[in-house]
Structure 1
């Protein structure tokens, strides 16, 4: 088993990516589409977000929508201590993958609270797909650490690290969901 400090470092890096990776440049951030099929009223949104959302290979959980508002990374309340975010080609894809991951973590935590084994199994199956997504394969430095510290324990009913990750890394997702649906 890998050391806890290495796992924690990997989780912190993943969390930083999920909470900050949502635009190629802070000045270019606009509205993020709310549906997988881009509605016409959002035709003026950032085309990289539109592309990433429309092309994302996995489905969101039932009742969950893509974020409705953009994020201003120049706002210290949104991006404390991060400095200027430097973009990379698939930054929007990475953001969408992280948002999707957070949505399934929310479903998992809700299923645990409700003692709904079928819903929990569906959620953990989807969480397990995160490290095999093309963008995760390209940018996630230690997918094995994520799987061994988040996915495998969740499959075995241990929610501690998943819950900690969700609490620290899924604020964008949580802020875009009705209060009663977040874990």
Structure 2
């Protein structure tokens, strides 16, 4: 079933940080690990969508994130690469990977590349998300706390429309598959 990719945003210091979410059993291909200034202690990259009137939840287990962030200005850049084969969404995982939805065989990764800026009492990551060969702007509001010990905690939520990436294009009626996808990101990382 439809799901959208998420992005993980956290950082401290003006240096680049690379965060990799450990991969659970599942995808045959795993994204390459990168040198890291941050180590993810725990994290979730999830989504929810309504299918046949009931909310179902899913997520991704394999992604990498590269962040440049200046805590003084609250600005930076983020690039997230997601292994689309790592998606799970209950009993419809295989269908979600198929050509009607993520088309993983043709589009094995999704990429978000955006700018980070302060907004209100939190932050926003904003930029294009390339998924299924379609590029659409995404805005993810998030909170970020970095304690004195160098542990960063990030939480973000966004609502997206699966039709922006032609996901489930054959399901034009929301009574079968909802248009709205709720994205949730939560990470804890340390230097």
Q: Same fold (TM over 0.5)?
A: no
| Larger proportion of helix | 1
Structure in which a larger fraction of residues adopt strand:
2
TM-score, L = length of structure 2: 0.26
